[in-house]
Amino acid sequence: MASYPITMMKMKLNDCSPPSTAAARLLPFLGRHYIHFRSSMGPFQNPSFPRTIVARSAFSFSSVVTAAMASEASVKVIDGKKVAKDIRDEITAEISRMKDSIGVVPGLAVILVGERKDSATYVRNKKKACEAVGIKSYEVCLPENSTEEEVLKYISGFNDDTMVHGILVQLPLPSHMNEQKILNAVCIEKDVDGFHPLNIGRLAMRGREPLFVPCTPKGCIELLHRYNVEIKGKKAVVIGRSNIVGMPAALLLQREDATVSIVHSRTKNPEEITRQADIIISAVGQPNMVRGSWIKPGAVIIDVGINPVEDTTNPRGYRLVGDVCYEEASKVASAITPVPGGVGPMTIAMLLSNTLLSAKRIHNFK
């Protein structure tokens, strides 16, 4: 799974204040201009960050608050933390059954190059999550100045290792390395990230099945399933078209017979298009970009963005918000994922799920 540099957004506490003020700050590009999304989607998915929901600010929405809060009471909060725990419990049981039955436990190898603190944290969290469900974790930490050949040598070793069923290369790699070349070296049967073009192609094609579905979009759809949100025949809008979230999420929704539109940085009227959606998946990494006015009443919202914004009232000096203005959205939507505690915990759960899937497939265990 990719990790990216954290860009701290300077924002006041009431970052969901009415569009007249907030939009000017957040969206200088509203109106006839384009939205300039970040070019790479960088969901900030560090589970060690506080999981409390953004505190409601007392000074925004003055008169609207009472009515809005009443209607908000009816919004269903999609509890990704709870669903992820359920999934981890199911995985634990399956792994135990597999071990008892054929004496095999799934193995996940992670390759980390360099000393980035955020990457080290991700890798540590993956390891902990693996251990908790009974997946054996293999870790290689290489210095920043390693060569491509060294990384490729380890990948090749894990490709051949029958104890390893999934291989992850922690991103970003040092700039002197060719990311595409290195990722392509992971054999497709162990590419639990599901980012291999062959997987994406199969995902796009009717009648074909990918070996693995990329973790974060798989987590989004799993949340919809577990909350019994009907997808077939619904209008879905995916905001963002990254290779790791937006694009595969759109393909997944289409596989489930939604009518999908993809909104991106060159879309001229994102608000108007988004407002038509029964289901919104947002994955752009722009704090509070999707406002209440973008949302059709009753829509279901999956917010993939996990964006740190400055918050001097928080001991850490920041807090996390999604791409969707939760305060406003929860007054309009029928269901919504919080940030944090929505899609975030699902990503690692899906990685564990893909690793188990791979082990079962390789050992032909039903």
Between the two ends of the chain, the Cα-to-Cα distance in Å is: 27
Catalytic residue (choose from 79, 193, 311, 323): 193
Q: Which of 117, 232, 315, 366 binds a second copy (CB under 8 A)?
A: 232
Q: For a second copy, what does the binding mask look like between residues 143 and 182, x meaning CB under 8 A?
A: -------------------------------------x--
The residue whose two tokens read 């975030």 is: 344
Q: Specify the residue, 223 or 239, whose C-beta has the smaller distance to a second copy.
A: 239
Which residues neighbour 237 within 8 Å (Cβ) at sequence distance 6 or greater?
Answer: 260, 261, 262, 263, 273, 274, 276, 277, 279, 280, 281
Q: With contacts defined by CB under 8 A, name the span among 129-137, 206-214, 299-307, 315-323 that binds a second copy.
A: 206-214
CA-CA distance, 302 to 337, in Å (whole number)? Answer: 5
| Residues, the chain | 366
Contact 166, 190 (CB under 8 A): yes
Q: Using an 8 Å Cβ cutoff, are 38 and 242 in contact? A: no
Helix 246-255 vs helix 215-226: angle between axes, to the nearest 10 degrees? 40
Give the contact letters, 237-276, x = binds to a second copy (CB under 8 A), - = no. Answer: ----xxx---x---x--x--xxxxxxxx-xxx----x---
Which residue of 3, 17, 199, 216 would you call a contact of a second copy, by CB under 8 A? 199
Determine if 32 is a binding residue for a second copy (CB under 8 A): no
Q: Is 170 a catalytic residue?
A: yes
Contact 242, 278 (CB under 8 A): no
Examine residue 338 and say whether the peptide bond preceding it is cis (omega within 30 degrees of 0): no
When the beta carbons of 270 and 342 are compared against a second copy, the nearer one is 270
Size of the site for a second copy (CB under 8 A): 36
**Distant-in-sequence, close-in-space partners of 175: CB < 8 Å, separation ≥ 6:** none
Instruction: Select the residue interacting with a second copy from 8, 34, 58, 132 (CB under 8 A).
Output: 34
Q: Among the options 45, 79, 170, 234, which is catalytic?
A: 170
Element (H, E) at 186: none
CB of 196 to a second copy, least distance (A): 7
Shortest reach from residue 234's CB to a second copy, in Å: 8
Taking CB under 8 A as the binding criterion, the range among 212-220, 236-244, 301-309, 318-326 that sits at the site for a second copy is 236-244
DSSP state at residue 27: -
Give least dist CB 311 to a second copy, A: 32
Does the annotation mark 276 as catalytic? Answer: no
Q: How far apart are CA 58 and CA 69, in angstroms?
A: 12
Q: Quick one: DSSP state of residue 64? A: G
Among 5, 28, 31, 233, contact with a second copy (rule: CB under 8 A):
233
191 is catalytic: no
CB atoms near residue 201 (< 10 Å): 12
Choose between 203 and 321: whose C-beta lies nearer to a second copy. Answer: 203
Among residues 79, 126, 190, 218, the one annotated as catalytic is: 126
Instruction: Pick the closer one to a second copy by CB: 14 or 40.
Output: 40
DSSP characters over 110-151? EEEES--HHHHHHHHHHHHHHHHHT-EEEEEEE-TT--HHHH
Assess 30 for contact with a second copy (CB under 8 A). no
Neighbouring-strand partners of residue 307: 321
Catalytic residues: 126, 170, 193
Give contact residues for a second copy (rule: CB under 8 A). Answer: 34, 180, 196-208, 232-233, 235, 241-243, 247, 251, 254, 257-264, 266-268, 273
